Amino acid sequence: MWRPGPDCATFPGTVTTILVVNPAAGRGRAGRRAPEARRALETTFGAVEQVTTSAPGSAVEQVRAAVEAGAERIVVLGGDGTLHEAANGLLRAARAEKPPIAILPAGTGNDYAKMAGTLGVSIPDAVRRLAGGRVRRFDVGVAWGEYFLNSVGIGFDAEVARVVSRWKRLTGLPAYLAAVFQVLWDFPNMELAVETDGGAFRDNLLLLEVAIGPCVGGGFRLTPDAQPDDGWLDICAIRHKSMGAILVRLPLVMLGRHTGLKDVRMLRATQVAVTSLNGTLHAQFDGELREVAGRMDIRLEPGALPVLVAS
């Protein structure tokens, strides 16, 4: 079976199912599960071409090439970051009718798999459920010329994602909880000016989350009412407080019951402009770290991503 090299962007003939594997995802879990995933997909969908990511960002070009070569579906074995890259490749492809994308979760947070119905089951069961599922059109956001699928987080959760990315053993919600406690000790105040198509505010914030889905970090329901196909960006702004005050509120955030607190601002919009008044903007895009000085402009593209959702 032909496989592309790390920088190859040419697919021979007609391809149908592309399996994108990030062998490092989930502390190596995706790489170990790749043979099982491939067998399950071949049994269900027929011939499979497997591509293996070689470096951060490599899946973007690999998937773009596969889509332009006629792929009928893209299946990602990895985490939210791998899915983020694959979807960016799919959405940038020069093809009018985009094929659906699916996720077999093997990452750290696996937040998107919750919405796609593939979390918490074996790989063969997930593939069977995908085969009996349906394609839904999910919203995406765009910021700094990059698509995001679940959320852009500015400030605290971006720093948490940075800490989690350095750890070799912890994974899932325990990794994010441990990182939260580490980052809380000395996280600085952010002064942000936020403008939306419904209003504007300026505040000293711990974090600003602009989300399409309800959950980030494997279990933090920052935007609990968000739906991936409702045509809205859900926004959660949490004011900077003492470490003790934040720790007291942490269980409420995990349950999605923080939205009525006086230090929390919840909004909906289709466009958001964020300007830092005291330094560089540090952000996570679906767990992938980004930073830039000055301003971030975010817009919604409703229904732009076809997602194969399990039955």
Residues 58-69: pLDDT tens digits? 999 999 999 999
Tell which of 83, 98, 132 closes a domain. Answer: 132
pLDDT of the residue at 3: 36
C-alpha 92: how far from its chain's center? 17
For residues 126 and 153, state if they share a domain. no
Under the banding of pLDDT at 50, 70 and 90, the label for residue 40 is very high
In a domain, 307, yes or no: no
In a domain, 86, yes or no: yes
CATH of the domain at 61: 3.40.50.10330
For residues 174 and 204, state if they share a domain. yes
pLDDT of the residue at 164: 76
Go through 110-148 and write b for each residue having 16 or more CB atoms within 10 A of its CB, e for each that does not.
bbbbbbbbbbebebeebbbbbbebeebebbbbbbbebbb
138-161: per-residue pLDDT in tens?
Answer: 999 999 999 999 999 998 888 887
Decide if 85 contacts 53 (C-beta within 8 A).
Answer: yes
For residues 167 and 292, state if they share a domain. yes
pLDDT of the residue at 156: 85
For residue 15, give every residue at least 6 positions away whose Cβ sits within 8 Å of its Cβ, in sequence order, or none. Answer: 49, 66, 69, 70, 71, 72
For residues 128 and 28, state if they share a domain. yes
CATH of the domain at 212: 2.60.200.40
Asked whether the CA dihedral 256, 236, 101, 8 is positive or negative, the reply is negative
Question: pTM for the complete prediction?
Answer: 0.89
For residues 186 and 272, state if they share a domain. yes
pLDDT of the residue at 123: 96
In a domain, 286, yes or no: yes
Tell which of 80, 101, 132 closes a domain. Answer: 132
Residue 59 phi, psi (nearest 5)? -70, -25
In a domain, 141, yes or no: no
Cα dist from 113 to 131, 181, 228, 263, whole Å: 15, 26, 12, 30
DSSP 112: H
What is the number of domains present in the chain?
A: 2
Q: Which residue has the higher pLDDT, 178 or 257?
A: 257
Q: How far is 49 from 195, CA to CA, in rounded Å?
A: 44
Among 181-190, 218-227, 275-284, 290-299, the minimum mean pLDDT is found in: 181-190
For residues 173 and 36, state if they share a domain. no
Mean pLDDT of the chain: 89
For residues 169 and 102, state if they share a domain. no
Q: How far is 88 from 63, CA to CA, in rounded Å?
A: 8
110-128: per-residue pLDDT in tens?
Answer: 999 999 999 999 999 999 9
240-253: per-residue pLDDT in tens?
Answer: 887 778 888 888 99
For residues 272 and 172, state if they share a domain. yes
In a domain, 10, yes or no: no
Tell which of 103, 132, 161 closes a domain. Answer: 132
Neighbour tally for 218: CB within 10 Å = 22
Q: Which of 222, 217, 225, 208 is nearest to 296 (CA)?
A: 208
> What residue has token string 């980052």?
183
In a domain, 6, yes or no: no
In a domain, 2, yes or no: no
3-state secondary structure (DSSP) of residue 40 = helix
Q: Which of 104, 76, 78 is nearest to 25 (CA)?
A: 78
In a domain, 213, yes or no: yes
Enclosing domain of residue 243: 148-302
For residues 101 and 49, state if they share a domain. yes
**Residue 26 above 90 pLDDT?**
no
**Residue 171 above 80 pLDDT?**
no
For residues 268 and 198, state if they share a domain. yes
For residues 92 and 155, state if they share a domain. no
For residues 171 and 263, state if they share a domain. yes
Neighbour tally for 269: CB within 10 Å = 20
